[in-house]
Structure formats: structure tokens, C-alpha cells
Amino acid sequence: MQHKSSTSVISIPATNPARRILLALALGVFALIGAGCQGDQIETTKRLVEQQQSQLEHQQQEIEDLKANQNLSDTPGVAASSRSGCDKGVETAASQRGGDRFSAADFSKALEYYQDALSTCPTDARAEVNVARTYEALGNKVAAINHYRKAADSSGPTVSDASEEARAALERMQASRLP
């Protein structure tokens, strides 16, 4: 018993010259349609490349501007407010994200955000307390006490509440017994 394959080649008899011409025209139309679609794809790709090139040029300009500002702040005799000052916007955003992560008990991520806030505003007692609280939550009592002490001794802009909170935490942790 022989098994016949279910696949077969479509064959159009092309013995008639009119059919040959019709077949050639049909193939030509399909080729033109295919070429037209490729042309649209090429144009779309060209527009996308141009858009990405424009974005890249914009980003390169931003990088150059940032480098120029950085060089300006490195120039001796020129005041560098970002180096000695505090970027409250960055600190606030980092502290808020840290607070969100702390509330979700993601203490490691909270610590990263709070450390960013502290590095942005190193004299801010509130940022110091946030780092200390997070170390305490992570079980690192020594690091927590060190940061609470810095906050308690702080003379920064947010001394009152944060310093008092730090002092209370030091008493609660009985930090006077530790070095």
C-alpha cells in the first residue's frame, strides 16, 4: 500500500501565450506590491533613525552642559553651591522614596535612598536620623548609634525635631553604655 503525500505543487499550464502573459503580469504586480511595502518600511525606519539621532544629539548636548557646569564648580575661586550646599529637591525625593521602602519593610532599599539623601545634604539631621532608623531596623545597632549621635550633635537646618528624636533613640538604645 502506497501512501500519497498531501503536499503538492500548484501547477498552472502555461501553454497558452495569453495565460503566460497573465501569469507574468500577476507576478509583476505581486513584486511591485512587495517592493512598495518594503519602501514604506524603509521610510519608517529612516524616520525612526532620524528621531533617535535627534534624541542622541540632545542627550550629548545635555552631557556637555553638565560637564561645563562641573568644570565651572571645579574652578578655583568660583563658588560651588552644589558642593558645599544642599540640593533640597534631591534630598526630598530620595527621602520620600526611602520612606516608601521603609514602610514596605524593604529596609535595604530604604537605606540606599536615605544614604542618597544624606550624601546630598550631609549636615541635615533629619537625613541622618533616617539612616540611623534604617540601620536600627536592619539590626545594625552600632551603625545606628553612630548616625543617631551625629544627628544629636548636628547643628544643621533641621536640628530641633531630628536632634531630639536622635537623643531619644540613643537613650532608648542605651547608647551611653557603648563606645
DSSP 80-111: -HHHHS--HHHHHHHHHHHHHHHHTT-HHHHH
Please check whether residues 68 and 107 belong to one and the same domain: no
Residue 168, domain extent: 86-177
Please check whether residues 158 and 103 belong to one and the same domain: yes
Residue 28's pLDDT is 75
The amino acid at 57? E
Give the tens place of pLDDT for each residue, 62-99. Answer: 777 777 666 554 444 333 344 457 889 999 999 999 99
Please check whether residues 35 and 103 belong to one and the same domain: no
> Is residue 115 within 8 Å of 131, Cβ to Cβ?
yes
Please check whether residues 53 and 126 belong to one and the same domain: no
Band of residue 49 on the pLDDT scale cut at 50, 70, 90: confident
Length reported for the chain: 179
Please check whether residues 96 and 58 belong to one and the same domain: no
Please check whether residues 113 and 170 belong to one and the same domain: yes
Please check whether residues 48 and 96 belong to one and the same domain: no
Full-model pTM: 0.52
Does residue 3 lie in a domain region?
Answer: no
- Calpha distance 129→152 (Å, rounded): 9
Handedness of CA 28, 32, 35, 41 (dihedral sign): negative
